[in-house]
Structure 1
Amino acid sequence: MNSLTAQKLAVLYGGTSAEREVSLNSGKAIANGLEQAGFNVQLIDTQDYCLSDLASLDIDRVFIALHGRGGEDGCVQGALQYMNIPYTGSDVLGSALSMDKIRSKQVFQAMNLPTAPFAIVSKLEYQRQDAAKILQQLGDVVMVKPANEGSSIGMSKADNADALHAALIEAFNYDQQILVEAWIQGPEYTIAILGQTPMPTIHMETPHDFYDYDAKYKSTSTQYHCPCHLSADDETELQAIALKAFNATGAKGWGRVDVMRDEQGQWQLLEVNTVPGMTETSLVPKAAKVHGLNFSELVTKIVEISMQGNA
């Protein structure tokens, strides 16, 4: 046993967010991968768990496998920081900013990074007639996204005022603020980041209108291409943009950046994910495999990076 695997790790998974089922699968896979690497691992479902009990477990480090609210938005990171327990991935600011689709889009704009035009709709201020005005501003087709949900939960496409109104009412069930984004017609790509290294790009293809929850987790028709068949120059440019976006939101350690290419051939940043799905067949492990890392080596590397201050 080396000094790295001598660490006692707790994998936090499950939780109470809308992405609980995905997190349960990620946590089990991560724990299995860490155990294969020789770590002493304890799996902890945070759904009915008091985090302060971690202090009595003599844990050296936490591997955060919680997706969505409470785990990916800075909350658990703040609690662990307060208790002086090291953890993997982004810190409080990077987690919170990346999780908030509206604030991260504003950061992209401020940093002159490419991202589609958008409008912000507040539940408290929204009126029925606003739907038509938003369509006039952004074009005939838009994408509706709750600001703080992941896995495409609460998202929908709208191509007229009635559909946009219905989509907003549905999205308000998930969030007080909604991002309405101009529709991007074109292929979708994702770039996993490990430390400061962008992994090989993955191109996702789905017959669905967009890469929604079903396309991600249930469909057998979704295709993943890695290598993604971009030219070497295009892939280098895309990886550079993804890394800039990752750093712009303060993300650290590891994560994933989602991007689309519009009909004019321009890259358009969608979002930064600081705790993306981590089953054996998830996107980050797919990219890592092409990069030369198996699943066990990948999760070990994530732990190692966290010991280096998430450099």
Structure 2
Amino acid sequence: MVVSVVYGGTPEERGPSEKNAKDIAEALKERGYSVQFLQFDKDIIKTLRAVSTDIVYLCVQGRGYGDGTFQGMLEVEGIPFTGSGMRAATLINDKILCKFLFDHYRINTPKWDILTKEQYESGEYDYHGFGFPFVAKAPTQGGSFGIELIKGPEDLPLIEKVFGFDDPILLESYIKGRFYTVGIYESGDGIVALPVVEGLDLDHQDEASLKEDRLITFTGTYGIKESNLDTELASQIRQMALQVFKITGARDLCRVDFMLSDDNIPYVLEINAVPGLKKYSLMPLAAMQSGIRYEDMIEDILLSAVKRR
């Protein structure tokens, strides 16, 4: 079987995408697969055909790549691939659309609103009515790109940076608490919901930064630690993650991120259809912590897509 591991993305996400793809390719080679390591470009379909691709391990990220664009190209060409299909990937990559879905299914998520650049420039939006502090997010960006914490009126000019990525943008109430994540993937034995783990921004673990309002950015070094949540709360978060996986139409893999407020209320932040899969990303770390080898998880995701084909 020829597996083409395809990476690429926006300028911000191309580097992380390539790192994910390299580790995935090495894991698959170790398992005996014939692997092609390819960068997405306008001739990618022709390249996939030229190397006799049986299936694509999809690692492309961001708008114009992993937001349903590449998935749609592959569906039209009839080339199997890992991960969510075009429709689900498009939905998942738009944080505003996901918010509507969360509200419809009564999944707890931070208070939110939509802001257009026209509203921002005219000064007509009622920020005080929405409430400070809040987070301004570019709805189609992954990672920590296009996101700013607005603590008060003096920070409103920071929103201009977010409009550099998208228009309209998402405003989301800031939840003070801790960041948790749940990785989900499909294997031959069914859906695997990894344990709830706490995500750690290791560049900001000093006592001073933990006390202040700040965003968990994961732009530097990061890690996880086993959650010390009680069994009932951890189970609630996992069930919320599984519900998000189901209602968005995700398949093969995803990662659902949460903030747990200081009074222990879980809020779904977002779902990622193409989560980081380099060996020491959040989801693989959670798998390894629960005794699942990295190579096993990577192969299970591939075999889930093969079985569907």
Provide TM-score, normalisation by structure 2: 0.90
2:116 corresponds to 1:157: no
Return closer, same or farther for 1:118/1:69 CA change in 2, 3 Å cut-off: same
Deviations 1:137-192 (A, max 9, x none): 2x22000100100011011101222412x122111100112101011000110100
2:296 corresponds to 1:303: no
Question: Where in structure 2 are the equivalents of 1:193-232 lying within 5 Å?
Answer: 193-195=184-186, 196-206=191-201, 207=204, 209-212=214-217, 216-219=218-221, 222-225=222-225, 227-232=226-231
Deviations 1:47-105 (A, max 9, x none): 46433332232111000011212332000000001110000010011111111011001
Cα distance, 1:283 vs structure 2: 0.9
Q: Secondary structure at the match of 1:269?
A: strand
Q: Secondary structure at the match of 2:284?
A: helix
1:27 to 11, 21, 43: 21
Cα distance, 1:136 vs structure 2: 2.0
Retained in 1: the 8 A contact 2:9–2:62? no
Deviations 1:268-293 (A, max 9, x none): 00000011111111011111112332
Cα distance, 1:128 vs structure 2: 4.2
Deviations 1:101-136 (A, max 9, x none): 1100110000100001111012244334245x1232
| Counterpart amino acid of residue 136 in structure 1 | G
Match of 2:96 in 1: 102
Match of 2:278 in 1: 279
| Counterpart amino acid of residue 285 in structure 1 | P
| Counterpart amino acid of residue 23 in structure 2 | A
Structure 1 Cα separation of the partners of residues 259 and 240 of structure 2: 12
1:174 to 165, 176, 200: 165
| Counterpart amino acid of residue 138 in structure 2 | P
Retained in 1: the 8 A contact 2:181–2:255? yes
Retained in 1: the 8 A contact 2:144–2:219? no
Return closer, same or farther for 1:130/1:159 CA change in 2, 3 Å cut-off: farther
Question: Which aligned runs of 4 or more in structure 1 are off by greater than 6 angstroms?
Answer: none
Structure 2 Cα separation of the partners of residues 74 and 105 of structure 1: 18
Retained in 2: the 8 A contact 1:15–1:47? no
Q: Secondary structure at the match of 1:18?
A: coil
Deviates more, 1:103-112 or 1:191-200: 191-200
Structure 2 Cα separation of the partners of residues 86 and 47 of structure 1: 18
Question: Where in structure 2 are the equivalents of 1:91-170 lying within 5 Å?
Answer: 91-131=85-125, 133-137=126-130, 139-164=131-156, 166-170=157-161
| Counterpart amino acid of residue 84 in structure 1 | G
Identity of aligned residues (%): 28
Structure 1 Cα separation of the partners of residues 278 and 82 of structure 2: 17
| Counterpart amino acid of residue 110 in structure 2 | A
| Counterpart amino acid of residue 148 in structure 1 | T
Residue segments in structure 1 that go unaligned for 5+ positions in a row: 1-6
Return closer, same or farther for 1:275/1:109 CA change in 2, 3 Å cut-off: same
Structure 2 Cα separation of the partners of residues 245 and 50 of structure 1: 31
Structure 2 Cα separation of the partners of residues 70 and 105 of structure 1: 21
Match of 2:249 in 1: 250
Structure 2 Cα separation of the partners of residues 162 and 289 of structure 1: 43
Structure 1 Cα separation of the partners of residues 46 and 71 of structure 2: 13
Retained in 2: the 8 A contact 1:188–1:259? yes
Retained in 2: the 8 A contact 1:116–1:181? yes
Structure 2 Cα separation of the partners of residues 299 and 110 of structure 1: 33
Structure 2 Cα separation of the partners of residues 288 and 256 of structure 1: 12
Q: Secondary structure at the match of 1:187?
A: strand
Retained in 2: the 8 A contact 1:17–1:68? no
2:63 corresponds to 1:61: no
- The total of aligned residue pairs comes to 295
| Counterpart amino acid of residue 67 in structure 1 | Q
| Counterpart amino acid of residue 198 in structure 1 | A
The CA RMSD measured in Å over matched residues stands at 1.7
Structure 2 Cα separation of the partners of residues 182 and 262 of structure 1: 12
